[in-house]
Structure 1
Amino acid sequence: MADEIATLMSSIGLSPETFIAVCVLAILVVGAVVVIITSRPILDIYPYLNPSARVRARKGRLFDEKQISEMVEANNVEEVENYLKGVPEYADVLEDYPLDKALDIHRADTYDFIARLAPKEVKDSFVVMSKKTDINNIKSLLTAKEVGLSPEETKDLLIPSGSLYKELNSLVDADNVTDIVTSLDGTEYATVLEDALPEYEENHMILPLESALDKYYLGKLLHSPDVPSDENRQILYSYIGTQVDADNLKLILRAKEDGLSYDDISSYILADGYQLREWKLKDLMDSPDVTNVISGLEGTKYAEALTDVVPQYNETGSVAVFERALDVYVTEHAKSLSSKKPLGIGPIIGYLSQKEAEIKNLKIIARAKREADFPNSKIMEMLI
């Protein structure tokens, strides 16, 4: 064997020292490839280790079915509030604010928390989600001015959170809606509001301004992830895209119930949706009625969820049953996504979705408990 190697070295003109150097180099190259291949999964997981641990700690404090049932059984909204004051996550904020505002603040704090801890590769999407607080505050400010609320009443509507809170709070003395829109020049929302302002000034309805903000938010959200090149970003894109489709469907269902055409609402729809593209959305809007919109979804992942509640719609005549079904679907979809990448983005999406559902449910319970003799069984049907 040694003679054969010596002959080979001689035939290609290599000295023994050079041959040994080549062999060592080859071993190093192969070793480096092996290290890269074996370490890649660890490198993918590492950025999510700390965020996942912190999210799991909070997830353990989410309300379970028993706790939600206990609040549903409360005699009034004061008992619900007292129950929440015994929960550390809600206690502090309830000391300073009324229940509904406290829930909004807690939700805003949750989105800020996730935006801060999210790994760099997916951070942009969660930063966009946290901006919903600013958008809701702008809507509240516009609504307050349109209905003529006082500066004090207007200030009470604003959530003391978000990057624009101080600026928006300084606008509670503005004379009218137009002044507010022009005062927001220099913010990222200026262009979309200015584009919708002529329609508001013509009809004196703030719907065009609110819808422009919603469309801007959904567009930013849908395009916030990079090209889904890895599983974490694919999961995130599915989570975001499903939210966009659900919001588009809610808009179409409400418009169809109000007898509007596609042209009436096309400027408010985010045409480049996720599974439901512009041609499909237009096809749904061309349906003669709400039930035909639902049947037109056959073949999409939303069909079964909405078809199941058609009997409820036929009984109540309210598209609210479809809106709830879409909220439930988005929550369940997020839950399924959370299990796909337990050492990646999964726990973050799972916690955020469940916290959003928890706060929505608490708002439903609080609203129902303000009405005398509201049936507990009806509250349970309304929960997400």
Structure 2
Amino acid sequence: MIIILDVLFNPNSPYMWLLIIGIIAGALAIIIRPFATFAKFAYPNAKFESIGNPFVKETNLQRYLDLSDLQQFIDQLNTQKDYNISETITSRIQTELDHQFVNTIHMMKQDSTKKMQPFYDTYLELIDANLLKTALKQHITENHIDENLSDHAVSSAIKKHLLILSKTDSEEILAVLNQLQYPDYITSLITAEEKKFSSFALDAAVDTLFITQLKNTKVPYKCTEAKDVFIKRMIDIRTIKHLLRAKHLSYDADHCEQLLIDEGYELAFWKQKDLCTAENTADLINKLEGTQYYTSLKNKLDQDTSKIGSVQPYTDAIDLFWLHLVKNISTAHYSTMGPSLRFLEYKQIEIRNLKIIAKGIAEKMPSTLISPLLITEETT
């Protein structure tokens, strides 16, 4: 041992210099690695920042609210970069806008480091969650799944699954779902007795599946914290929205617990179960006191409740707060995936706003009725 040490630390020995070079190389690798990650995000973040999200700005949306017909809406929107609407029927315009969001994700995937691609692929699956929910509900209520559903999928994996399920006999659906590795918390709902089946519970189960997959997706070095905060906040938001709808329909605590997805950022499981015991929507909101979500919902609750005949104003309020949260995540993780997450979520809200305006113009609604339905950054 002493001989080995003498050789290693002998200034005239080449082994000593190899050791020194190795130590320096290791130290440099540790120092450089974060900067290499930052460099990989420099171009996409700069590009997304230059594109911006004009349709979460109230002033930009106002110009569209003042238009009198759909053709004017289409012509003005097509002057914007990346928009090329060719349809003139409202429903088809909305579909084209949805495609625009998907195209944006593909653009982000192409411009980002390859290590971000699994995240975007899984996010596309999350978009297809509603199609899977529809397919499973069709099986339960009609013993049949529409083959055309797969045509609307944007994820290759979900497109394949929907096509397989639509061609499967009703009696074999459960076996096929197991072969496709769907978890027990979904398959158990498929086999539940009709009186015990909950459409909301199925929605929550499918959300759980895709959010869990997103949570388990690997991202580049130094990006894990941003991804984890983003997903846990998303869980909080979705949990609150599920429970708001449930309490609006007078669901009891046991029924509400079926809607829980996972532990969130502020809403641990014990807190979520406490929310499930709320007597009504107002009580649910009051139980959120002490969390960052409380103020937005409480302000909405303190308005004239006689004007709030649905849960939509509350879910809009929480979506509005979601923009604020994503903006904070972007600021805290500005050198990695923070700006990408912000651009992605803001784009989704932009498309929502444009779809609402298109529908409002088509139905000759005054701008004073359309405007309150929009989610804009200025009011966060």
Query: Which residue in 2 is equivalent to 1:217?
Result: 210
Q: TM-score when scaled to structure 2?
A: 0.78
Query: Which residue in 1 is equivalent to 2:326?
Result: 334
Contact map agreement 1:338 1:347 (CA 8 A) in 2: yes
The one-letter code of the counterpart of 1:360 is: R
Moved more, 74-83 or 87-96: 87-96
Query: Which residue in 2 is equivalent to 1:46?
Result: 39
Alignment of 1:110-149 (within 5 A): 110-119=104-113, 123-142=117-136
What whole-Å deviation, never above 9, does each CA across 1:67-116 have from its counterpart, x for those lacking one? Answer: 32121112244433343344452316759981121122222233344345
- The whole-number CA distance in structure 2 between the counterparts of 1:351 and 1:319 is 27
Contact map agreement 1:199 1:208 (CA 8 A) in 2: no
- The whole-number CA distance in structure 2 between the counterparts of 1:156 and 1:86 is 32
The one-letter code of the counterpart of 2:82 is: E
Query: Which residue in 1 is equivalent to 2:66?
Result: 73
- The whole-number CA distance in structure 1 between the counterparts of 2:127 and 2:227 is 20
Aligned length: 365
Query: Which residue in 2 is equivalent to 1:299?
Result: 290
What whole-Å deviation, never above 9, does each CA across 1:34-71 have from its counterpart, x for those lacking one? Answer: 64565344223133234324433543776754432121
In structure 2, do the counterparts of structure 1 residues 219 and 261 end up closer, same or farther at CA, with 3 Å as the change threshold? farther
In structure 2, do the counterparts of structure 1 residues 170 and 106 end up closer, same or farther at CA, with 3 Å as the change threshold? farther
Contact map agreement 1:309 1:321 (CA 8 A) in 2: yes
Query: Which residue in 1 is equivalent to 2:271?
Result: 280
Contact map agreement 1:338 1:350 (CA 8 A) in 2: yes
Q: Percent identity?
A: 22
SS at match of 1:90: coil
1:197 correspondence with 2:225:
no
- The whole-number CA distance in structure 1 between the counterparts of 2:17 and 2:165 is 72
Moved more, 48-57 or 137-146: 137-146
Query: Which residue in 1 is equivalent to 2:370?
Result: 379
Structure 1: give runs of 5+ residues left out of the alignment: 1-13
Shift of 1:331: 1.1
In structure 2, do the counterparts of structure 1 residues 175 and 275 end up closer, same or farther at CA, with 3 Å as the change threshold? same
Shift of 1:128: 2.0
Query: Which residue in 1 is equivalent to 2:102?
Result: 108
1:365 correspondence with 2:357:
yes
Shift of 1:285: 1.8
Shift of 1:275: 1.7
In structure 2, do the counterparts of structure 1 residues 101 and 169 end up closer, same or farther at CA, with 3 Å as the change threshold? farther
Q: TM-score when scaled to structure 1?
A: 0.77
Contact map agreement 1:59 1:351 (CA 8 A) in 2: yes
- The whole-number CA distance in structure 2 between the counterparts of 1:54 and 1:65 is 23
What whole-Å deviation, never above 9, does each CA across 1:319-345 have from its counterpart, x for those lacking one? Answer: 212111111111121112222333321
Shift of 1:290: 1.7
Question: Alignment RMSD, CA only?
Answer: 4.0
Contact map agreement 2:65 2:370 (CA 8 A) in 1: yes
- The whole-number CA distance in structure 1 between the counterparts of 2:78 and 2:191 is 46
Contact map agreement 2:241 2:315 (CA 8 A) in 1: yes
Contact map agreement 1:337 1:346 (CA 8 A) in 2: yes
The one-letter code of the counterpart of 2:350 is: E
Structure 2: give runs of 5+ residues left out of the alignment: 1-5, 376-380
SS at match of 2:264: coil
Query: Which residue in 1 is equivalent to 2:3?
Result: none
Query: Which residue in 2 is equivalent to 1:10?
Result: none
Q: Which has the larger radius of gyration?
A: 1
In structure 2, do the counterparts of structure 1 residues 87 and 156 end up closer, same or farther at CA, with 3 Å as the change threshold? farther
Contact map agreement 1:77 1:366 (CA 8 A) in 2: yes
